[in-house]
Structure 1
């Protein structure tokens, strides 16, 4: 996995956490769900990159 992929996934995860926190603070369920979805997407991308790395070794 390249460093830029790691940074991109971490940034997406952080943005998702921020969205989720704002959603909780403002009682906005839609924003909270979007934040959770963004975190899940970042985690799946990370897992895919880990699989690619394992296969290439």
Structure 2
């Protein structure tokens, strides 16, 4: 598993925790920060998956 994939997963978990914390404390800013971090984590994972797919396809053609 790549560092980017792990970082993306970590961002998703911490983002979700911040989002829940914001909802429980009625802190809209914290909730929004959590949502943004969760989204960033998902995006990082998708980019990493795309990168792995491209590397795999180019390696096969050699």
Q: TM-score, normalised by structure 2?
A: 0.82
Q: TM-score, normalised by structure 1?
A: 0.88
- How many aligned positions are there? 56
**1:15-26 residue pairs with structure 2 within 5 A?**
15-26=14-25
Q: Residue in 2 aligned with 1:52?
A: 51
Cα deviation, residue 42, structure 1: 0.5
CA RMSD of aligned residues (A): 1.1
CA distance in 2, matches of 1:6, 1:13: 11
Unaligned runs of 5+ in 2: 57-62
Segments ≥4 residues shifted beyond 4 Å: none
Q: Deviations over 1:8-28 (max 9, x none)?
A: 211111110110000000001
